[in-house]
Structure formats: structure tokens, C-alpha cells
């Protein structure tokens, strides 16, 4: 997928609120249907706790929005010569979730955030020492900007996988699938079909967010279609039903 990047016209906080208001309301039902579908196709998956599955996918969902936003804004800043405060999204996200008494969701995002950093280190840096030096530089700068060690750490982790191309080249969706399976205690019994389904879903989430951010930044005359934030997930479920 070629990444189309327009000059941002929507404030970051406004975009974040719009996305989270929709996602937190609609996503649990979609993930519940996905759980039912997977349980019927893979008997071993039925042992996974449904509530845990929904919570873990919500955490991945929020983390992927942050990563997609960073990738989009880094490219927009380069193409349109913008000076963007790249820490705004993560500070807003932490505050938004805390204000809704969803700090547990913020905490759950951390393991997937770390997986993103690992994917970036393995793809880009020749040695662990080189990766650590780069991460330390990111963290120092971001700590100065955010004043929050947690936000600085997580954003530095995302910077380790710092582009749309890197997402694909590092097989990040595959690494997130492994972490998800481990979180659910399902890794040892996960079959290939279920693993592929998870990986496709995670990749779809990321791409859907890039499309959504792009649509939000388009002018009215540029918008040829509206990409609903939930569309990628529903399309994934419909395909699974067609395959039987």
C-alpha cells in the first residue's frame, strides 16, 4: 500500500477524541463476534477467556492508532515542511484513558508498544548496543518535551519503528501476533489458520488507521470515499464467513 499523505488540517486532539470515542464504543462488540467465530473454527481457542481477548485487542487497537498517527505525521512533516509536536498524541491518549477510568487499558498497551520497539530494533540496527544508543537519544529528547517518563518511553519505542515501510519490512504484525498469543496463553496451541487470521487483522487495523487519518486530513473536494474506522474489521469478519 502506497502511503498518501496530505497536509494535516485536523488538530491532533480532535482526531484522537473522534477515533477513541468511536472505537471504545463499537470495537468490543466486533471483537466479541470475532471471538465467537474463532472459537467455532478452532476448538482450542475456546479455552481463551473472552473478556481477556477483547481487552488485549483493544490494547493493540489503541497502540496501532498511535503508531499509524506517528508514521503519518512524520511523513507529512517531511513532505510539507511542518514542525509538528509529535508528543501530542501520546500525552492526549494517556490523559483521555485516565479520565475515563481506563488506565488499565493504557497499562495493557505497554507490552505491544515494547513489541513494536523490538521489531524496529531487529530491522534497523546492526547490534543491540547501536539500538540502545539510538533509543537513548529518542528518550532524552522526548522526556524533555513530555516531562513524563512513561510517555517518553512509549514514544521512543514507536520511533524505533519509524516509518510505514518499516512496519511491513519488520513483519511487525507477525511479532504482535506472537505477543497477543502469549498474553492469552494460547501460543503453544495456536494453529496456522488462527495465527494468519490474527496477523491479517492486526495489519488491517494499522492500514485502516492510516486511511482514516488521511481522510480526516483531506479537504472536502479531495474526499472520494469515507473510510469508517471499523470497516477493516468488519470486512475481515465477512471474509471469514464466506470461507466457512
Which pLDDT score, from 0 to 100, does residue 233 have? Answer: 53
Which pLDDT score, from 0 to 100, does residue 230 have? Answer: 43
Look at 195 and 231; give whichever has higher pLDDT.
195
Per-residue pLDDT tens digits for 94-125 = 999 999 999 999 999 999 999 999 999 988 88
Which pLDDT score, from 0 to 100, does residue 126 have? Answer: 83
* pLDDT exceeds cutoff 60 at 159: yes
- Which range, of 162-176, 190-204, 216-230, averages the lowest pLDDT? 216-230
Extract long-range pairs of 129-136: CB within 8 Å, 24+ residues apart.
Answer: 131/160, 134/160, 135/160
DSSP tag of 43: G
pLDDT, mean of residues 19-44: 87
Which pLDDT score, from 0 to 100, does residue 8 have? Answer: 73
Q: What global pTM score does this model have?
A: 0.85
* pLDDT exceeds cutoff 70 at 135: yes
Amino acid at each position: 500500500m502506497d502511503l498518501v499523505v496530505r497536509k494535516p488540517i485536523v488538530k491532533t486532539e480532535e482526531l484522537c477524541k473522534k477515533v477513541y470515542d468511536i472505537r471504545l464504543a463499537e470495537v468490543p462488540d466486533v471483537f466479541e463476534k470475532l471471538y465467537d467465530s474463532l472459537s467455532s473454527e478452532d476448538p482450542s481457542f475456546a479455552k481463551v477467556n473472552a473478556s481477556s481477548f477483547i481487552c488485549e485487542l483493544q490494547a493493540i487497537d489503541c497502540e496501532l492508532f498511535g503508531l499509524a498517527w506517528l508514521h503519518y505525521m512524520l511523513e507529512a512533516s517531511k513532505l510539507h515542511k511542518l514542525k509538528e509536536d509529535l508528543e501530542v498524541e501520546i500525552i492526549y491518549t494517556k490523559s483521555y484513558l485516565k479520565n475515563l477510568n481506563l488506565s488499565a487499558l493504557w497499562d495493557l498497551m505497554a507490552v505491544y508498544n515494547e513489541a513494536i520497539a523490538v521489531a524496529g530494533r531487529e530491522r534497523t540496527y546492526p547490534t543491540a548496543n547501536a539500538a540502545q544508543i539510538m533509543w537513548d537519544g529518542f528518550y532524552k529528547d522526548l522526556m524533555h518535551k513530555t516531562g513524563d517518563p512513561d510517555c517518553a518511553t512509549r514514544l521512543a519505542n514507536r520511533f524505533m519503528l519509524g516509518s510505514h515501510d518499516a512496519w511491513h519490512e519488520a513483519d511487525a504484525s507477525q511479532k504482535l501476533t506472537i505477543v497477543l498469543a502469549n498474553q492469552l496463553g494460547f501460543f503453544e496451541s495456536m494453529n496456522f489458520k488462527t495465527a494468519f487470521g490474527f496477523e491479517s487483522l492486526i495489519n488491517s487495523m494499522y492500514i485502516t488507521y492510516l486511511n482514516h487519518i488521511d481522510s480526516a486530513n483531506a479537504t472536502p473536494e479531495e474526499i472520494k470515499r469515507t473510510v469508517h474506522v471499523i470497516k477493516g474489521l468488519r470486512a475481515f469478519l465477512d471474509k471469514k464467513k464466506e470461507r466457512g
